[in-house]
């Protein structure tokens, strides 16, 4: 695809590296060809190709492997931090129901042996501190029990080969990432003032096409890679190119950073492009809470010799608060102090700067919404240059990607919309100048347009793709574990058969004392079909493996003790008499029960704890 705007021509090609190389050649006629060549080679070696999307298949495989593993804590109905005596009591309680010696019928005795072996296996692992520590760390994935010792499961040759290749690939990717540590940023300045405040003159009247002119006024690209030389020395190669209104410039630099000790480092760097450049950086910790950093440089440019010196003294003044004192010399001399406070929910930064040619005071506030992976930001800044206010939001859309949009309103800067995409260590920024004056219409559109665009893209593109991926994953899980689900269903039915005497005894005792009587209990995907459960005592009715809701009245009644029912915060599918009827789906447990002859009802999510009876569950009957 080819299109032209201003005096720049872009060719979109398949490779990201080739695309960026084309950008250098087409965008920067003012930069020397040798400099462009060096930067292009650097990008070809370390560009976007090293930042790969996560392997969804590997993640899915890892998740699938643990979906139907046995959870010993949930099976015994004890918390993960349960003391030894609580685990022993749970084992004894289950043994009263499932011990083979408690049953005389040969069929029931065989079913009891199957379930009791699982109970004893869970108890043997959890009662031993060493085995329990291994189980808590590793879980059941890739493990089985032989002679009551946890050992690595024997894998097939194909599984071993796939595992080796996956680990080798991950190790190579980590090694390359650690050795090169590529960082990059691309900034594209867009002038869209003609949308809201067009420039009018006689020339425009004569050749006006009726369409607003939107142009790219400047582009800058910065890229760097690292190369560890020794355990203490690291070399960094960086390139920077910039163009503004057709005038280009560029710099290529190389630096070596040496770790002097645990308390400090020194970096020497040099560069060429806008004149030879030589600089020195250093950092030194002066105590547990204080460090100092300095940066000096000298450059020979067309305008003459330039030199500069920067210094920063930083101190931790509180648990979440840092203070900074910065002195800067050179063409823009200044002295500034700032205080930054960063907590789990907020970030506040106050800065006061005195300098030449400008002085200002600024206050930044960020509100973090951790559950939504969202940050809401605002800034107020005023000084000799004027004043400005900005607000915006930053949203994490994946493990490695973040998008943000902010609106800057200032005098005399006007209204600017800033769009940013961050992908791992690559950063893309698009500042769009909408108006040179503060007018209501550009402020409104700059605020509303990014929100609408994000909502539309999320609704029409992102959500359908995500839902399709989830549906495919769940179907694959169901197909993979269909045989295992049949075994689990058979085991649950056997447990319910063995619970019949215990169920009758506990229910009769609770009815006699007007205590806790489970009227009905359903477990599974309740929003699918609440009527799909089988009759009481049958976990799946006559619908086989297609059922998504099962009846669990009997196993829950058997867990009642002294008119109380307590189930801990783990999946209910691991309880005796339960199984997972809808692998990969969100499951709930719905219970109707009588307490003091009053009807109660509650519904909880799969991993929520359950404690009944509760007054809030009571149903008012009129």
Q: Are 131 and 121 in contact (CB under 8 A)?
A: no
Token digits of residue 316: 């931790």
Highest-scoring range by mean pLDDT, 18-22, 60-64, 70-74, 238-242: 238-242
List residues bridging with 272 in a β-sheet.
252
The answer on pLDDT for 55 being more than 60 is no
155 vs 245, higher pLDDT: 245
Quick check: is 183 in a domain?
Answer: no
- The pLDDT of 23-32, averaged and rounded, is 41
What pLDDT does residue 177 have?
61
Token digits of residue 612: 């009944």
What pLDDT does residue 69 have?
66
Closest by alpha carbon to 253, among 230, 229, 277? 277
Tally the C-alpha atoms within 13 A of residue 89's C-alpha that lie toward its C-beta. Answer: 10
Q: How confident is the model at residue 245 (pLDDT cuts 50, 70, 90)?
A: confident
What pLDDT does residue 539 have?
53
What pLDDT does residue 159 have?
64
The answer on pLDDT for 416 being more than 50 is yes
What pLDDT does residue 301 have?
81
Token digits of residue 139: 């879980």
Q: How confident is the model at residue 531 (pLDDT cuts 50, 70, 90)?
A: very low
Backbone phi and psi for residue 354, each to the nearest 5 degrees, phi listed first: -115, 125
DSSP 408-446: EEEETTEEEEEEEEEETTEEEEEEEEEESS--HHHHHHH
Closest by alpha carbon to 355, among 392, 324, 323, 329? 329
Share of the chain above pLDDT 90, in %: 49
Q: How confident is the model at residue 592 (pLDDT cuts 50, 70, 90)?
A: very high
Q: Which domain holds residue 500?
A: 481-622
Token digits of residue 178: 């650690």
- The pLDDT of 568-573, averaged and rounded, is 88
Distance CA(299)–CA(306), nearest Å, equals 5
The answer on pLDDT for 602 being more than 50 is yes
Closest by alpha carbon to 528, among 486, 473, 590, 577? 590
Distance CA(511)–CA(227), nearest Å, equals 76
The answer on pLDDT for 436 being more than 60 is yes
The answer on pLDDT for 10 being more than 80 is no
Closest by alpha carbon to 47, among 15, 9, 11? 15
Q: Are 39 and 250 in contact (CB under 8 A)?
A: yes
The answer on pLDDT for 262 being more than 50 is yes
Token digits of residue 448: 């509303």
pLDDT, tens digit, for every residue of 31-43? 444 344 344 434 4
140 vs 335, higher pLDDT: 335
List residues bridging with 388 in a β-sheet.
381, 410
For residue 504, what is the enclosing H or E element? helix 500-512
Q: At what angle do helices 106-127 and 129-138 cross, to 10 degrees?
A: 90
pLDDT, tens digit, for every residue of 363-388? 999 999 988 899 999 999 999 989 99
Quick check: is 536 in a domain?
Answer: yes
The answer on pLDDT for 480 being more than 90 is no
Quick check: is 339 in a domain?
Answer: no
State the Rg of the chain over Cα.
Answer: 33
* Mean pLDDT for all residues in the chain: 81
Quick check: is 492 in a domain?
Answer: yes
Token digits of residue 101: 């010696």
What pLDDT does residue 134 have?
75
Supply the DSSP symbol for 616.
G
Distance CA(420)–CA(394), nearest Å, equals 9
Q: Would you put residue 541 in left (φ > 0), alpha (ψ -120 to 50) or beta? A: left
Q: Are 600 and 614 in contact (CB under 8 A)?
A: yes
Distance CA(390)–CA(383), nearest Å, equals 15
Number of H helices and number of E strands within the chain?
14, 27
pLDDT, tens digit, for every residue of 268-325? 999 998 789 999 999 999 988 999 999 999 998 877 888 999 999 999 999 999 999 9
The answer on pLDDT for 70 being more than 80 is no
pLDDT, tens digit, for every residue of 199-243? 665 555 555 556 888 899 999 999 999 988 888 899 999 999 999
What pLDDT does residue 183 have?
92
Distance CA(431)–CA(443), nearest Å, equals 14
- The pLDDT of 258-273, averaged and rounded, is 93
| Three-point CA angle 339, 345, 349, nearest 5° | 15
Quick check: is 452 in a domain?
Answer: no
User: Could you give the number of structural domains in the chain?
Assistant: 1
Closest by alpha carbon to 583, among 446, 433, 475, 430? 475
Distance CA(30)–CA(242), nearest Å, equals 9
Q: Are 334 and 353 in contact (CB under 8 A)?
A: yes
Supply the DSSP symbol for 588.
E
What pLDDT does residue 63 have?
47
Distance CA(99)–CA(502), nearest Å, equals 13
Quick check: is 539 in a domain?
Answer: yes
127 vs 282, higher pLDDT: 282
Quick check: is 298 in a domain?
Answer: no
Other beta carbons within 10 angstroms of residue 271's beta carbon come to 20
Distance CA(402)–CA(196), nearest Å, equals 29
Residue 440: asked if its preceding bond is cis (omega within 30°), the reply is no
Quick check: is 206 in a domain?
Answer: no
Q: What's the helix, strand, coil split of the chain in %, to 5?
A: 35, 40, 30
Q: How confident is the model at residue 15 (pLDDT cuts 50, 70, 90)?
A: very low
The answer on pLDDT for 550 being more than 80 is yes
């Amino acid at each position: 695809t080819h299109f032209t705007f201003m005096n720049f021509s872009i060719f979109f090609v398949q490779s990201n590296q080739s695309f960026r190389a084309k950008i250098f050649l087409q965008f920067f006629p003012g930069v020397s060809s040798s400099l462009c060549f060096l930067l292009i080679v650097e990008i070809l070696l370390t560009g976007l190709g090293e930042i790969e999307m996560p392997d969804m298949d590997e993640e899915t495989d890892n998740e699938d492997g643990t979906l139907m593993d046995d959870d010993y804590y949930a099976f015994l109905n004890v918390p993960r931090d349960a003391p030894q005596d609580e685990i022993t009591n749970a084992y004894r309680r289950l043994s009263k129901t499932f011990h083979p010696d408690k049953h005389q019928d040969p069929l029931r005795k065989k079913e009891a042996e199957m379930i009791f072996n699982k109970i004893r296996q869970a108890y043997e692992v959890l009662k031993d501190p060493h085995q329990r520590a291994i189980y808590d760390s590793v879980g059941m994935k890739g493990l089985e029990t032989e002679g009551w010792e946890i050992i690595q499961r024997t894998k097939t040759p194909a599984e071993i080969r796939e595992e080796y290749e996956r680990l080798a690939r991950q190790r190579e990717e980590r090694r390359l990432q650690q050795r090169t540590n590529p960082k990059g940023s691309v900034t594209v300045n867009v002038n869209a003032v003609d949308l809201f405040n067009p420039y009018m003159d006689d020339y425009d009247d004569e050749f006006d096409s009726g369409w607003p002119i939107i142009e790219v006024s400047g582009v800058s690209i910065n890229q760097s890679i690292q190369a560890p030389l020794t355990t203490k020395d690291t070399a960094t190669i960086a390139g920077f190119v910039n163009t503004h209104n057709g005038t280009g410039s560029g710099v290529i630099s190389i630096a070596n950073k040496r770790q002097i000790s645990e308390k400090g480092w020194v970096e020497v760097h040099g560069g060429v492009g806008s004149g030879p450049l030589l600089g020195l950086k250093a950092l030194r910790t002066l105590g547990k809470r204080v460090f100092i950093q300095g940066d000096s440089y000298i450059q020979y440019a067309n305008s003459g010799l330039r030199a500069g010196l920067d210094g920063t003294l930083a101190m931790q003044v509180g648990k979440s608060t840092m203070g900074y004192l910065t002195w800067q010399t050179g063409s823009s001399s200044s002295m500034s102090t700032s205080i930054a406070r960063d907590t789990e929910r907020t970030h506040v930064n106050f800065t006061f700067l005195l300098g030449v040619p400008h002085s200002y005071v600024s206050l930044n506030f960020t509100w973090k919404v951790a559950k939504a992976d969202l940050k809401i930001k605002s800034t107020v800044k005023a000084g000799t240059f004027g004043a400005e206010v900005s607000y915006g939001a930053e949203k994490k859309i994946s493990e490695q990607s973040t998008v943000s949009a902010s609106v800057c309103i200032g005098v005399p800067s006007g209204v600017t919309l800033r769009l940013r995409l961050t992908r791992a260590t690559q950063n893309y920024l698009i500042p769009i100048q909408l108006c040179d004056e503060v007018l209501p219409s550009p402020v409104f559109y700059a605020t509303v347009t990014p929100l609408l665009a994000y909502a539309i893209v999320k609704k029409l593109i992102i959500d359908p793709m995500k839902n399709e991926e989830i549906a495919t994953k769940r179907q694959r899980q169901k197909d993979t574990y269909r045989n295992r689900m049949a075994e689990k269903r058979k085991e649950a039915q056997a447990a319910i058969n063995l619970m019949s005497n215990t169920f009758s005894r506990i229910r009769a005792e609770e009815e006699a004392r007007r205590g806790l009587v489970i009227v009905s209990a359903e477990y599974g995907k309740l929003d699918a079909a609440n009527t799909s459960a089988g009759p009481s005592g049958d976990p799946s009715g006559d619908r086989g493996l297609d059922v998504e809701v099962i009846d669990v009245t009997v196993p829950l009644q058997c867990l009642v003790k002294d008119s109380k029912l307590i189930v801990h915060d783990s999946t209910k599918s691991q309880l005796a008499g339960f199984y997972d009827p809808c692998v990969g789906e969100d499951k709930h447990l719905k219970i109707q029960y009588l307490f003091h002859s009053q009807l109660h009802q509650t519904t909880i999510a799969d991993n929520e704890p359950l404690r009944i009876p509760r007054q809030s569950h009571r149903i008012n009957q009129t």
